[in-house]
Structure 1
Amino acid sequence: MNIIVNLSIYLALILSIYAFVAFVLGIRKQDQRLIDSARGATLSIFILASISTLLLFYLLGTSQFQFQYVYQYTSSDLPLLYKLAAFWAGNAGSLLLWTFFLTMYAVMVAYSRKMRRNPMTPYIVAIMTLNMIFFYLILAFVTKPFILLDGVPVEGRGLNPMLQDPGMILHPVTIYLGYVGLAVPFAFAIASLILKSMDSFWVKMTRRWTILAWLFLTLGNVIGGYWAYTELGWGGYWAWDPVENASFMPWLTVTAYLHSVMIQERKNMLKVWNLSLIILSYALTLFGTFLVRSGVLTSVHAFSESNLGAYFLIFMAFMVIFSMYILMSRYHLLKKDTGQFESFLSKESSFLINNLILLGATFAVFWGTVFPLVSEAVRGTKVTVGIPFFNTVMSPILLALLFLMAVCPLIAWQRSTVKNLRDNFLIPAIISLVVAGLLVVMGVQGAYPIIGWTIVTFMILTHIVEFVRGTAARRKVTKESVPVALYNLMIRGRRRYGGYIVHIGIALMAFGIIGANFDEEKLLTMRVGESMEIGDYTITYEGLAQRSEGVNDIVFANMKIEKNGRNLGYMQPERMFYLNWEEPSTNVAVRSTLSEDLYIVLSAWEQDQRATFKFKVNPLVKWIWIGTWVVTIGAIFAIWNGRYGNIVPRYAGPRRKVY
């Protein structure tokens, strides 16, 4: 077994190097046999990566403790699901998962029906195999997933209790699918530059790849937030932690790219800008991996300190320098035959401003994240940048972004007149101002919440107007019923209306996030039978109890909940004690409604059953999770290949021999 698993790593490394060299030589010599051989090697690498992945799953699931990785992250009493999820609990396993996804994406591109005989394909897959070489070098010589111990331990160390959560099954996988997915448009972009192909073919061919990577990043971030909300017990879902920021930054830049690329497709503009955005997004995925694995910043989400960070920093620097060199060498070609902005009051101008805001947000998050390193290097003292800094800086930036998202759908391409703006925005603006007035009358405190909810209202209304206008225009021509006209309108404009659904989902998420301004929190030590009040709730502590779950013991509190005199039943916050782990974990009790969450954490207790609790009332949190579902539906709708899907023109390629 040991020979097989290690051979799969080393053989994949050799084949990765061969595939890259064969692609390069095949391109230089215009030798189709070498190209086909390299493509076959790519498929072989994927098969070997699959073997390595399946074997590690098998070793983890069957508790083969003679392997160091299995011993470090599992134990025999661990449920099978978490044994398998331990695959990505450590550096070696998570990098093997990353490599598997990378080989999977490469094979999907290499054997795509649309790309099989395209002259760009050898360049694209060669760039992806260059990434494979790096990751297999790491797996083969730096952090090995299949190291044998000298003996066979009777028992493993077990999995960190914080990782024994359903979030552990989904969060890392979705984040990696997003990270690795960005390697595809990056490879297309660099291949286009190398070939001096200055049209928008690579943009059109990577549209779905990019949206898919963006969707996985979105899901990864939100699932991570939900995991933190229910597992860590601090009462929130986003703390601007360095590792959270690491996955948020590429999300911001990819969001900017997805908007600005529409200008390139329609107006043949912003070519350099879009290439720079996709290079930056790819680089930020490597930078995020560097942060997680280097130990240079303290984070509850980071892996233990290792020397992996240096390797990722070097590889990131190499890829960025290489990419920028190729981009600058083609700059004179990219600037030819480009369109120009005709009016400030136009959709393309709003997209550009949207990009500038998103890049401003990226820089703010980046600076807040790395400032502790800068301060330590300059002053010798690591200064921590906390939540107040990020909230203060990011709140106006994100409000401006929401406003632009509200305005964009109803602004025309090329030029909008004052009359158009008045006709399009008058009714949504009046209703939104009425909402703002009602918020003031209701006693809502704070400028940001009032402005934020007003903009969210405006944003949802402008998108509804766009659906209504489109449906009405179609009915006028086709005489269809309203449901049929709306359905046909949407399926014939999947990208456009899928994007609008995504915007509505973002608005719902923003609605919930703004509610955090009105949370209430209390930390109390209570005796049995004692009651407390928070918000509209009366909570009575009725004592502690204990139960077993497998080999683990759970201590929980019985809390009777009443709201405005109405009995709502019981909530049971818990602390779980593990046989193979010193520190217990927290299981938060949450009662969630559309208006608010009641959140209770059991922190500590005494012999006489006095117990200390954290109580929180978090308004509107559920709308964040609802908004995420809407975003997911919109993104899938936008990329789904229906009968009326987006038609991509055939690409003849540059004037050279087709391989």
Structure 2
Amino acid sequence: MALLGNSAIYLGLALSIYSLVIMLIGVKKQNQQLVDSGKGAILSVFLVTAISMALLLYLLGTSQFQFEYVKNYTSTELPLVYKLAALWAGNAGSLLLWTFFLALYNVMIMNSRMLRGNPMVPYVGMILTANTVFFMFILAFVAKPFVLLDEVPLEGNGLNPMLQNPGMMLHPVTLYLGYVGLSVPFAFAMAALLLKNIDDFWIKVTRRWTIVAWLFLTLGNLLGAQWAYVELGWGGYWAWDPVENASFMPWLTATAFLHSVMIQERKNMLKVWNVSLIIISYALTLFGTFLVRSGVLTSVHAFSNSNLGTYFLLYMGIAVIGGLYVLMSRYHLLRRDSGQFESLLSKESSFLLNNLILVGAAFSVFWGTNFPLISEAVRGTKVTVGAPFFNQVNAPIMLALLFVMAVCPLIAWQRSSLKNFRDNFLIPLALTVVLFLALVAMGMTKIWALVSFSVVGFLFLTHIQEFYRGIRARRKMTQETVPVAAWRLMIRNKRRYGGYIVHFGIAMIAIGIIGSNNFESDLAKTVKQGETIEIAGYTLTYESLAQRSEGINDIVFADLAVSKNGQAVGVIRAEKVFYGNWPEPSTEVGLISTFKEDLYVALSAWEPDGRATFSIKVNPLVKWIWTGGIIVVIGSLFAIWKGRFGNVVPKYTGVERKVS
């Protein structure tokens, strides 16, 4: 097994190098047979990578403890589903998964019917294959997945309890798909510049790829937040942990890119900016991987310290410097025939402002994340940057972003008049004022919450108005019923209305964040059996404390009867799990969740006489975050549903165009 696994890795490395070299020669010599040979090698790389991953999954699932990776991350008592999930529990397995996704993306592009004969394809293949060479090198010589132990242990170390959660079955996978997915638009951007194709062709080709990568990044962040909420027991979902930030930064810059490319497509503007954004987004995915695997920053998400960080830092430097060199060498071409802004009051300007806000947010997160390293390098003292810094800096930035999201759909292209502003914004603004006054009348006094909820309400109102106007205009022309007119309007403008649905989802997420950060209640209290705890209208009666066994694990659990304003709600159970092969216990929180609020109970400690200490929180509106995430997914899928590359991709044959 070890021989087969290692041979597959070495063969994958050799094939990757062969593919890169042979396609480079094929492009230089305009030899289609050599290019096709390189494409065949890319398919072979995918196959051997798939074999390697399938083999490692088999070893994990069957508890082959003679392999170091299996012994480190599984045990015989572990359920099969978590044995398989151990694939991404350590460096070697997670990098193998990353390489598999990279090879998969490469094969899909190389064999796309819509891209057949396109001269950019060999260049894209070479850039993606260069990535594959790096990861195959790491798997072959640094983080080896098939290392055999000198002695076969009877039992493995088991999986970190924090990873034994359904969310961790999906969170790393979606995050990797997003990370790797951003390499596709980067490869196309570099290919377009190398071929001196300075139009928006590469953007149109990669639009769906970019949205898919963005969607997976979104899912990865949301699933990670949900995992932290239910698994870590601290009552929150986002702590501005360095690894959380590492996945959030490319999401911000990719979001900026998805908006700014619309200006290039429509107005032939921001070409340099768009290429720069995709280089930055790609670099941030590598930077995030560096943070996770280098051990330079402490995080509950990070892998153990290793020398992988040095390799990733070096590779990131090569990729960024190479990308910037290609960009600067074609800078004069990108600036030529570029459009200009005609008015500050235009959709183009609002999109640019949107970009500046998103990049500003990414920079603030980058600075806060890396300041401890900078401080240690300069002053010799590592200064901790905590959540208060990130909240204070990013709260106004994100509020400004929500406002721009609300305004942008109603502003005209090129130039907006005062009449346009009056006609488009009068009703939403008036209703927003009504909403503000209603919140004040309901007793809301926190000014930041009032302003934030009002801005989110304004966003909803402007988008609803856009839907209303579109449906009304269509009905006037077709006499269709409202549902039919709405569906056909959306289906004929999938990208536009899919984006609006995404905005609705983002607004719902914002509602959850605003509510939970401004109006939470928390209490820690030690009580005897039969005593009650009062918090935010809830009455919790501590009924019992008991212990049970599940395999080699011992579970201490407490039951509390819950009522709200005198009405019985149910029984909530909070647990502390002691794993037989892990030194630290895990917290399993008790949770009653509604759209209004979450009752969140964690068992902190207990005494021999039956007394127990509970950490209790009432988190308003958290469920809006997870529901908003579902809406974002629906909108993203709608925007890319049945996209037609055939309308935007010109046909070529062979590798007819030379690099000049």
- TM bin, normalised by shorter chain, reads over 0.9
1:608 aligned residue: 609
How far does residue 655 in structure 1 lie from its aligned partner after superposition?
A: 12
Structure 1 residue 407: deviation in Å?
Answer: 0.6
CA distance in 1, matches of 2:253, 2:379: 31
Q: How far is the alpha carbon of 1:481 from its aligned partner?
A: 1.1
Task: Give the secondary structure class of the aligned counterpart of 1:567.
Answer: strand
User: 1:93 matched to which residue of 2?
Assistant: 93
Alignment correspondent of 2:464: 464
Question: Secondary structure in 2 aligned to 1:525?
Answer: strand
1:584 corresponds in structure 2 to: 585
- 8 A contact 1:197–1:654 mirrored in 2: no
1:83 and 2:99 equivalent? no
Amino acid at match of 1:222: L
Cα separation, 2, equivalents of 1:658 and 1:410: 42
One-letter amino acid matched to 1:598: L
Question: For 1:599, what is the secondary structure of its paired residue?
Answer: strand
TM-aligned CA deviation for residue 561 of structure 1: 0.5
Q: In the alignment, which residue of structure 1 is the partner of 2:323?
A: 323
Q: Deviations over 1:30-67 (max 9, x none)?
A: 11111000000000000000000100110000000000
Partners of 1:397 and 1:583 in 2: CA distance:
39
Superposition pairs for residues 97-108 of structure 1, below 5 Å?
97-108=97-108
1:100 is displaced (CA, Å) by 0.2
Between the aligned partners of 1:524 and 1:646, the Cα distance in structure 2 is 60
Question: For the residues of structure 2 that align with 1:482 and 1:248, how far apart are their CA atoms?
Answer: 39
- 1:34 aligns with 34
**Residue of structure 1 in register with 2:143 after alignment:** 143
1:538 and 2:539 are equivalent in the alignment: yes
Counterpart in the other structure of 1:649: 648
Q: Could you tell me the percent identity over the aligned residues?
A: 66
* Count of aligned positions: 657
State how far apart, in whole Å, the 1-side matches of 2:160 and 2:319 are. 35
What is the CA deviation profile of residues 460-508 of structure 1, one whole-angstrom value per residue up to 9, with x for unaligned ones? 1111111110111111111111111111000000000000000000001
Note if contact 1:118-1:658 (Cα within 8 Å) is conserved in structure 2: no
> Matches of residues 432-581 of structure 1 in structure 2 within 5 Å?
432-516=432-516, 517-581=518-582
Aligned pairs for 1:110-149 within 5 A: 110-149=110-149
Q: 1:167–1:574: structure 2 CA closer, same or farther, 3 Å change rule?
A: same
2: CA distance, partners of 1:532 / 1:603 = 15
Distance 1:279 1:648, change over 3 A: farther
1:10-409 alignment to 2 at 5 Å? 10-409=10-409
How far the C-alpha of 1:550 sits from its partner, in A, is 2.7
Preserved contact between residue 71 and residue 157 of structure 2 (Cα < 8 Å): yes
What letter is aligned with 2:656? K
Aligned with 1:75: secondary structure? coil
1:624 equivalenced with 2:637 (yes/no):
no
1:449 CA drift (Å): 0.6
Q: Is the 8 A contact 2:85 2:169 kept in 1?
A: yes
Distance in 1 (alpha carbons) for counterparts of 2:434 and 2:645:
40
Q: Name the counterpart of 1:413.
A: 413
CA distance in 2: counterparts of 1:650 and 1:139, whole angstroms: 36
Deviation at 1:656, TM superposition (A): 7.4
Query: What is the SS of the residue equivalent to 1:561?
Result: strand
1:318 is displaced (CA, Å) by 0.3
Give the Å deviation of 1:652: 5.3
Checking the alignment, whether the CA contact within 8 Å between 2:117 and 2:653 is kept in structure 1 is no
Whole-Å separation in 1 of the counterparts to 2:115 and 2:124:
10
Could you tell me how far apart the structure 2 residues matched to 1:551 and 1:648 are?
A: 60
1:250, CA displacement in angstroms? 0.1
- CA distance in structure 2 between the aligned counterparts of 1:650 and 1:160, rounded to whole angstroms: 48
**1:3 is matched with which residue?**
3
Deviations along 1:225-256, whole A, 9 cap, x unmatched? 00000000000000000000000000000000
Contact 1:290 1:309 in 2 (8 A): yes
Shift of 1:589: 0.5
- Deviation, 1:103, is 0.1
CA RMSD for the aligned pairs? 1.2
* Residues 205 and 648 in structure 1, CA contact (< 8 A), matched pair in contact too: no
> Aligned partners of 2:355, 2:398: CA distance in 1, in Å?
12
Q: Do the aligned residues in 1 keep the contact of 2:593 with 2:623 (CA within 8 Å)?
A: yes
Shift of 1:558: 1.0
| Post-superposition CA distance 1:361-407 (Å, at most 9, x none) | 00000000000001111111100000100000001000000000001
Following superposition, the deviation at residue 115 of structure 1 comes to 1.4
Gaps of 5+ in 1: none
Distance in 1 separating the partners of 2:654 and 2:157: 60
- Measure the CA separation in 2 of the matches of 1:354 and 1:582: 47
* CA–CA distance in structure 2, aligned partners of residues 345 and 603 of structure 1: 55
Deviations 1:90-120 (A, max 9, x none): 0000000000000000000000001121110
Alpha-carbon distance in structure 2 between the residues aligned to 1:422 and 1:300: 51
Find the aligned partners of 2:593 and 2:656 in 1 and give their Cα distance.
62
Deviation at 1:448, TM superposition (A): 1.3
Question: What SS is found at the alignment partner of 1:236?
Answer: coil
Residue in 2 aligned with 1:428? 428
CA distance in 1, matches of 2:200, 2:657: 19
Please give the TM-score of this superposition, normalised by the length of structure 2.
0.98
Amino acid at match of 1:616: K
Partner residue of 1:599?
A: 600
Residue identity opposite 2:476 in structure 1:
K
Greater CA drift, 496-505 or 539-548: 539-548
Cα distance in 2, alignment partners of residues 501 and 646 from structure 1: 23
Contact 2:119/2:654, CA 8 A, preserved across alignment = no
In 2: Cα distance, 1:569 partner to 1:229 partner:
21
Instruction: Please tell me whether the aligned partners of residues 554 and 576 of structure 1 are also in contact (alpha carbons under 8 angstroms).
Output: yes
Distance 2:647 2:538 in 1: 57
Query: Structure with the greater relative contact order (CA < 8 A, sep ≥ 6): 1 or 2?
Result: 2
Deviation at 1:445, TM superposition (A): 2.5
User: Which amino acid is 1:493 matched to?
Assistant: N
Distance in 2 of aligned mates of 1:376 and 1:251: 28
* Amino acid across the alignment from 2:535: I
Alpha-carbon deviation of 1:434?
Answer: 0.9
Q: Give deviations 1:324-345, integer Å, cap 9, x for gaps.
A: 0010000000111111111111
> What displacement does 1:647 show?
5.7
Question: CA, structure 1 residues 78+246, in 2 after alignment: closer, same or farther (shift >3 Å)?
Answer: same
**CA distance, structure 1, for counterparts of residue 445 and residue 73 of structure 2:** 48
CA contact (8 A) 1:291 1:309 kept: yes
- Separation in 1 of the partners of 2:10 and 2:178? 26
Q: Would you say the 8 A contact 1:204–1:648 is kept in 2?
A: no
Q: Write the distance in 1 (CA, Å) between the matches of 2:550 and 2:416.
A: 64
Which is further off, 573-582 or 227-236? Answer: 573-582
The Cα shift of 1:14 comes to 0.3
- Conservation of the 8 A alpha-carbon contact between 1:456 and 1:511: yes
More displaced 10-residue stretch of structure 1: 437-446 or 288-297:
437-446
The structural deviation recorded for 1:571 is: 0.4
In 2, distance between residues paired with 1:199 and 1:253? 21
Question: Structure 2: how far apart are the matches of 1:116 and 1:47?
Answer: 21
8 Å CA contact retained: 1:195, 1:654: no
CA distance in 1, matches of 2:182, 2:445: 42
Tell me, which stretches of 5 or more residues in structure 2 are unaligned?
Answer: none
Task: Give the Cα–Cα distance (whole angstroms) in 2 for the partners of residues 607 and 290 of structure 1.
Answer: 46
The separation in 2 between residues aligned to 1:162 and 1:198, in whole angstroms, is 48
Secondary structure (helix, strand or coil) at the match of 1:581 reads coil
Task: Give the conservation status (yes or no) of the 8 Å contact 2:114–2:645.
Answer: no
In 2, Cα distance between the equivalents of 1:567 and 1:476? 52
Per-residue deviation at 1:609? 1.2
The one-letter code of the counterpart of 2:25 is L
Q: What is the alpha-carbon distance in structure 2 between the residues aligned to residue 75 and residue 172 of structure 1?
A: 21
Structure 1 residue 633 corresponds to structure 2 residue 634? yes
| SS in structure 2 at match of 1:600 | strand
**Paired AA for residue 569 in structure 2:** L
